[in-house]
Amino acid sequence: MKKTIKIASNCLYAVAITLLLVMIFMVFSSRASGGEPELFGYQFKVVLSGSMEPTFNTGSIILVEKLNDTKNLTENDVISFKQGENEIVTHRIIEVVNNEDSVYYRTKGDANEDPDMNAVVAENVVAKYSGITIPLVGYFLNFASSPLGTGLLLIIPGILLIAYSVITIRKAIREIEEKTNSVTRTDPSEKSA
């Protein structure tokens, strides 16, 4: 039974350390990149609207691959593109328009009835959807990007790890004291002749 408890406690400790490291990465990465964390050329984007349902739902995180060549995309590719100055939209290409030296993409959200009003210039495309979606985690990432979320996600796991360490150290000290006491009680050198 003690062995099972020890294995479970070690597993929980490993999970807590891993979660702390992931949270630290997500928070610092989102701060450094100005919003979305990046990993190995992929960017995590939070789905903020239902325009692409059922492909991905509001509150999900999607992984998009940053593109260098944005002129070779095809119909049905899901792309993230700049719309306006600070807005990034992720919609599906429904038509590719080659116009002399320029390439334009007509896009549409899967849940929208009509295509987007303006065609997307190839230069405004920033990424292509990788096919990986993580449901509901976007709410967490949005919270983690806020000042309150950043503080809580760094402080709470830290406090939990410190508390766990204190409990583990106290338990180890107690076990050492018990072994020391049992050895001194059964020490054969103390027996009288």
Residues taking part in catalysis: 49
CB 129 within 8 A of CB 78: yes
- Please tell me the total number of residues recorded for the chain in this structure: 193
Strands 87-99 and 78-83: antiparallel
SS3 103: strand
Residue appearing with tokens 């919270």? 143
Distances (CA, A) of 2 to 5, 16, 94, 161, 165: 5, 21, 61, 21, 18
Q: In what order do the strands lie in the sheet with 42-46?
A: 38-39, 42-46, 61-66, 125-134, 78-83, 87-99, 102-108, 120-121
C-alpha Rg value of the chain to the nearest Å: 27
CB 107 within 8 A of CB 79: yes
* Farthest-apart Cα atoms in the chain, separation: 109
H/E run at residue 24: helix 2-33
